[in-house]
Structure formats: C-alpha cells, structure tokens
Amino acid sequence: MRFIIKTAFLLGLVAFFMSPRQGEGPDAASSFNLYQGLQGLQQAVADLSGFCERAPDACAMGQSVAIFAGDRISDGARLAYRMMRDGSGEERVVDPYMTSAIQSEPPAVDPIGKMIDAVDESPIVETPQIAPPTEYRRPIIAQQSAAIPASPATVPLMPKRIPVPQNPPRT
C-alpha cells in the first residue's frame, strides 16, 4: 500500500512539472506557464517570511514542531546508519574511560619494534593445562545379555478387508 501511495505521489509530481502540449484541450488559451508559477512561488515565500512578524505565537509553535521533527529524523537516521553498519539497531555502550583514548590520535611509533619490546618485557604467565584424554573403557554389560532372538518377531496379521463407511445414496 505504501509503495502505491509513493508511486502515485511521484507520478503526480512528474505530471505536474511536464509542460502541456500547445493547442490541446478546451482551455488551451489559459494554459499554465512555468515562469508565472515560479513567480507566484517567490511571492508565497516572501509572504511566509513575514509570517513571524504577524503571528509570533504561531511562529514559536512552528519552530518547536520543526525542532521536534528534526530530532526525530536525526534519531531515525542514526538508527538506520547503525543498522546498516552493525546489523542491529542497538546502541553500543562505550566505556567512559576509553573514550578519551579512542578520540586522541595514537602516537607515531614503530609498531614492530613496540611489539618486540612488549614481548620481551611481558611477565611469564602459566596457563592451566588441559587434562590428557582418559583411556577407553568398555561399557559395563549387565548380567543378562541383550542378545537378539533368532526367530523373527511376530507381527499381528492385518485383516484382508477393511470396511470403509459409505455415504447413503442421495434421494
């Protein structure tokens, strides 16, 4: 439904700005001139610029509505950007102690030399050992063996004919 409304709106805009063919229709003499339309639009904008002087209360209310709409639009755009970037609309929680480090530029150092120094200065840390796998143990068999009987299992015989109910004939 939304697609249909958008399409109708865009087609209406295209039809509005297309210039009509000359000499067609009953009102061919009073056809719309694009220059006159632009001139009327300029006059309307000039009239709206003096609106705040005539009605300051309405202008203040319009300003607050515009600010509210701008905030909502920026929140929606921020959410859409996050969804495109991360795949989720959730806001990332940033550690307040890390923000200054992230915002500041990193010092220009030789990264490989720094890594070698960091490896040489790091204390030796013992990591826990993973226990070796245990030896395989055969399962414990119960006193009675679960041997498969030599004779096949008996299956109850199916009846040769199964009665199917039928509807009575229509009269």
User: Are 20 and 32 a contacting pair, CB within 8 Å?
Assistant: yes
Q: In the predicted model, is pLDDT for residue 141 greater than 70?
A: no
142 within some domain: no
Distance of alpha carbon 28 from the chain centroid: 50
pLDDT average, residue stretch 53-61:
85
Q: Which residues of 71-109 are buried (b: 16+ CB within 10 A; e: fewer)?
A: eeeeeeeeeeeeeeeeeeeeeeeeeeeeeeeeeeeeeee
Secondary structure E strands in the chain: none
Give the pLDDT of residue 42: 87
Query: Residue for token digits 């009575």?
Result: 168
Higher pLDDT: 8 or 122? It is 8
Sequence-ordered list of residues with C-beta below 8 angstroms from that of 32, at least 6 positions apart, any chain = 20
41 within some domain: no
81 within some domain: yes
Higher pLDDT: 40 or 155? It is 40
Give the pLDDT of residue 34: 74
154 within some domain: no
64 within some domain: yes
Owning domain of residue 83: 55-91
Over residues 151-164, the pLDDT tens digits come to: 666 666 767 777 77
3-class secondary structure, 10: helix
For residue 31, the tally of other CB atoms under 10 A from its CB is: 13
Q: Report the number of distinct structural domains present in the chain.
A: 1
164 within some domain: no
Distance of alpha carbon 153 from the chain centroid: 59
87 within some domain: yes
Residue 52: closest CA among 61, 41, 44, 43 = 61
Give the pLDDT of residue 154: 67
63 within some domain: yes
Q: Round to whole Å and give the CA distance between 160 and 157.
A: 9
Q: In the predicted model, is pLDDT for residue 101 greater than 70?
A: no
Give the pLDDT of residue 31: 63
Over residues 73-96, the pLDDT tens digits come to: 888 888 888 888 776 555 555 555
Over residues 105-131, the pLDDT tens digits come to: 555 555 565 555 555 555 566 667 777
Band of the pLDDT at 32, cuts 50, 70, 90?
A: low
